[in-house]
Amino acid sequence: MIKVRNLVKSFGDVQVLNNISLEIKKSEVVVLIGASGSGKSTLLRCLNFLEMNSGGEIEINGQVIDSKKTDLNKVREHMGMVFQHFNLFPHMTVLENVIEAPVHVKKKSKQEATQKAMKLLKKVGLTDKADHYPDQLSGGQKQRVAIARALAMDPDVMLFDEPTSALDPELVGEVLQTMKDLVKEGMTMIVVTHEMGFAREVADRVIMLADGHMIEEGHPTIFFTQPQHERTRRFLQQVL
Ligand code: ADP
Ligand code: MG
């Protein structure tokens, strides 16, 4: 579904991603780990073209994306993104947040979008909050709304950037559970997280980034028990 070849990203003179190559198949769940500043967010942002790569190429569903020739908004419609800080529209209700893109980007009727939104809110356990505003919700509830909002566009792949890092510890579980439900449905997911329990349970592959290099990748059973790289070992000691 996604092929990345020799991806390079620089900000000015500083190269923050170095020759990243990876392939993500349909229904695969990939967990991306690495120290702060290692390039995890930048990699996700390059994958959905919030940042333009400085070198290499990205192929999505068989099409190499050329930012000059491809309608990037169309490409992004097929990718759901969930951020650490939820990024909900504060002046809109939960329901309005979820129907916003389907109505304004996909030009769905309000009725159709609402029907679908209510199904998604049921899926994330928030039917009763449809008419609430974001500031009336807990962090865990906000993040589940953000997930429902991303799903409302029928994405082929979901990108999560530290979705539980801003949550109080007791709220982390409900968001991880929602994500595990998505895994069960076969959603393709790329998840930046420090939740190693989640990675062990659902990841098909764990990738370690260090200073913009992919230094190690593997199935969680091997990755966590026999990390090859010294930097992976040190990192795992800190987060496990
Ligand atoms: P991570 O998500 O792993 O913590 P980031 O991808 O956010 O890391 O950042 C990787 C590196 O790129 C950091 O050194 C960061 O300072 C730098 N960086 C990220 N975004 C920008 C930007 N817009 N301009 C300049 N430097 C940036
Ligand atoms: Mg980050």
**Residue in 7, 8, 11, 83 to alter for ligand 1 test, most ligand atoms within 8 A of Cβ:** 11
| Ligand 2 centroid distance, CA of 114 (Å) | 32
**Residue in 16, 44, 162 to alter for ligand 1 test, most ligand atoms within 8 A of Cβ:** 16
Pocket lining for ligand 1, CB < 6 angstroms: 11, 16, 34, 36-42
pTM: 0.96
| Ligand 2 centroid distance, CA of 133 (Å) | 27
| Ligand 1 centroid distance, CA of 123 (Å) | 34
| Ligand 1 centroid distance, CA of 33 (Å) | 14
Atom 5 (ligand 1): residue with closest C-alpha? 39
- The answer to whether ipTM exceeds 0.85 is yes
* Residues with Cβ–ion distance below 5 A, ligand 2: 40-41
| Ligand 2 centroid distance, CA of 163 (Å) | 10
Handedness of CA 186, 121, 160, 230 (dihedral sign): negative
| pLDDT, tens digit only, all 240 positions of the chain | 999 999 999 999 999 999 999 999 999 999 999 999 999 999 999 999 999 999 999 999 998 998 888 889 889 999 999 999 999 999 999 999 999 999 999 999 999 999 999 999 999 999 999 999 999 999 999 999 999 999 999 999 999 999 999 999 999 999 999 999 999 999 999 999 999 999 999 999 999 999 999 999 999 999 999 999 999 999 999 987
